[in-house]
Homo-oligomer: A and B are copies of this chain.
């Protein structure tokens, strides 16, 4: 028990700090040097860390080479199901990408049963690809656009998929047949926020908010390097913040939610009220808008500036409450960043109370639409690092008698 805790302590430190000497690890973790040497020996033996570069320990003693996270034989699989696609992201323990896939899929038309079968198929194909790359998948996490009961792996409500109270973890486990691994489920924006913290433009920033603009608006909050979940896992509901009580009616039935000001549907309506929003992919739609802005569509330019201002107001709420360093924007916000972010930043600075908090910066994500699946894979990595007993060994050991 204590040894597992200590192994986890060392692995966690190496996840966040590459190429550490044993002395570095001892200092950072508070463990004795002898204990660290012993733990590192086990981790080297289990190929979860490897020695890198050279570091000389002066005249006395043999050179001690720094160690870094390895685990090339350990696979972590993340899936995302969204309105019109399923994507997969598989990595090894060190975060090296082993497989990335995205297939078109109409989840609403397919219904939960077909969606589950399709998710299972994508998962098993990814498992095969990871095995070919030499890694045994040791966990799976799924990103879903909706409210998720994380503790039970149940999708409480995902309006854009037409799902409610779906025990996704249990049903997907069953669909995976003989491949038995722990399955967890989480909100897509939460997982994208985690991906931004792990490997995006603001990687390593310990206080960040992720805000994604699609037809609606989603968000995830990372505080002190950890995802904010709240008492029931329902924190970070940024899209339905009431920002204009006298404002237009939202899809949720309330009035003046942030989504009615900065969602893609709201932008389209403001710029071209005469045309109804076609059911095209938000990504394509955003690229079209960017083309229009470049070509000098002045009504669109005005609408985008207005959305930028409301985005700044929404950002100021987040800055006032969470005091993050960075607000990373994804989805169509990222595509239109050069037009949206300047007015958003100005408005945020005007509305934030504390001088330091106003140093909070909007930045555009560069992870694209794969962020949630990538975040799902990193959740699996973190779970394995927290519970090293769950990590498979590189070479099968003899079963005890």
Q: Which residues of B contact A240 (CB under 8 A)?
A: 320, 351, 353
A235 close to B2 (CB less than 8 A): no
Question: How many chain-A residues does the 8 Å CB contact rule pick out?
Answer: 53
Q: Which residues of B contact A242 (CB under 8 A)?
A: 243, 313, 316-317, 351
Q: Which residue of B lies closest to A237 (CB)?
A: B320
Bound complex: CA of A157 vs CA of B240, how far in Å?
32
A353 close to B2 (CB less than 8 A): no
Against B, the Cβ 8 Å flags (1 = close, 0 = not) of A218-260 are 0001010000111111111110111111100000101000000
Bound complex: CA of A246 vs CA of B323, how far in Å?
25
Q: Quick one: which of A305-352 are within 8 Å of B by CB?
A: 313, 316-318, 320-325, 350-352
The answer to the question of A296 belonging to the interface, with a C-beta cut-off of 8 Å to chain B, is: no
Name the residue in A230, A244, A317 with the highest tally of chain B Cβ atoms < 10 Å from its Cβ.
A230
Q: Which residue of B lies closest to A323 (CB)?
A: B230
The answer to the question of A54 belonging to the interface, with a C-beta cut-off of 8 Å to chain B, is: no
Copies of this protein in the complex: 2
Known: A2-B31, A30-B1, A206-B231. A241 touches B320 (CB 8 A): yes
Give the contacting residue for A321; candidates B236, B325, B353; CB below 8 A.
Answer: B236
Bound complex: CA of A388 vs CA of B242, how far in Å?
46
Known: A147-B354, A242-B243, A355-B156. A235 touches B30 (CB 8 A): no
A245 close to B313 (CB less than 8 A): yes
Q: Which residues of B contact A32 (CB under 8 A)?
A: 2
Bound complex: CA of A190 vs CA of B345, how far in Å?
27
Q: Can you list 25 A-B pairs with a CB-CB distance of less than 8 A?
A: A2-B31, A2-B32, A147-B353, A156-B354, A156-B355, A156-B356, A207-B231, A221-B321, A228-B322, A232-B354, A232-B357, A234-B354, A235-B321, A236-B321, A237-B321, A237-B323, A237-B352, A238-B320, A238-B321, A240-B320, A241-B317, A241-B321, A242-B243, A242-B316, A243-B243
Query: Closest 7 CB pairs between A and B?
Result: A230-B323, A234-B354, A232-B356, A237-B320, A235-B323, A207-B231, A234-B357
